[in-house]
Amino acid sequence: GEDVEQSLFLSVREGDSSVINCTYTDSSSTYLYWYKQEPGAGLQLLTYIFSNMDMKQDQRLTVLLNKKDKHLSLRIADTQTGDSAIYFCAVASSGGSYIPTFGRGTSLIVHP
Amino acid sequence: GAVVSQHPSWVICKSGTSVKIECRSLDFQATTMFWYRQFPKQSLMLMATSNEGSKATYEQGVEKDKFLINHASLTLSTLTVTSAHPEDSSFYICSAHSGGYEQYFGPGTRLTVT
């Protein structure tokens, strides 16, 4: 089955950019997502990218996809303390009935 | 965006009792709903896929007699934890799928079994 790997922690200073990385194993992955989870809450879909895209930008968020290396990244520009949360990478493919497989999540800590 | 609600948001129950958790899609019809379990500092573990009007599909290792899932309508799925034990204490999250590529997640239910 699909494996999705993320680093567990990232610490940045307020105002800096954050880059959260994710790798996956299934080259047929079609939909790639980034979710945000704040303490005690459910998951909020931040953004997604299709496998036929290399990059997607949405305000402060930039998603980069390297299909050859099966590497996905999320860049948050001008990181704020309110961005502190756990960020989950998830990928889905037709072989998996489009049910996403989640990584373990990256805990982003933003220091003032 | 689409909204998914869960009720209750947290529940404490005694060992041996059963607890029902509701998941509702508020402004769209969900052909498929999913139930996840999340342990502290861990990822989401898919427990089962619930399709309206048919039996749920359980993931390997999930006891279907312990975690009863009912998807009676296109806007409501329920998860009943039967004869709960302390090891069932966890954060349960549902999500709803309207047929597109997005899943919409509920806010989660914190279950504590004493």
Report pLDDT for B1: 66
Do A41 and B108 lie within an 8 Å CB cutoff? yes
pLDDT digits (tens, 9 = 90+) for B22-81: 999 998 888 889 999 998 777 889 999 988 888 899 999 999 999 999 988 889 999 999
Amino acid at B60: Q
**Is residue A21 exposed (0-12), middle (13-18) or buried (19+ Cβ within 10 Å)?**
middle
Nearest CA in chain A to B32: A99
Give the separation between CA B96 and CA B105, rounded to whole angstroms.
7
- Whether A39 and A88 have beta carbons less than 8 Å apart is answered as no
Q: What is the pLDDT of residue A39?
A: 86
Q: What phi, psi does B101 have (nearest 5°)?
A: -95, 0
The 10s digit of each residue's pLDDT in A26-77 is: 888 889 999 999 988 888 989 999 999 999 999 999 999 999 999 999 999 9
Identify the closest residue of chain B to A89 by CA–CA distance. Answer: B43
Residue with tokens 């290396």: A69
To the nearest whole Å, the CA of B84 is away from the closest chain A CA by: 21
Chain A residues in contact with B102 (beta carbon < 8 A): 45, 48
- Residue B85 is predicted with a pLDDT of 96
State the average pLDDT for chain A: 92
pLDDT for the residue A56: 95
Q: Is the pLDDT score of A10 beyond 70? A: yes
Nearest-CB residue to B105 (from A42, A92, A103): A42
Residue A8's closest chain B neighbor by CA?
B41
- Chain B residues with CB under 8 Å of A104 CB are 42-43
**Residues of A engaging B, defined by a Cβ cutoff of 8 Å:** 31, 35, 40-45, 48, 88, 92, 97-100, 102-105, 107
Vertex A8 angle, CA A17 and B48, to 5°? 115
Handedness of CA A43, A44, A46, A52 (dihedral sign): positive
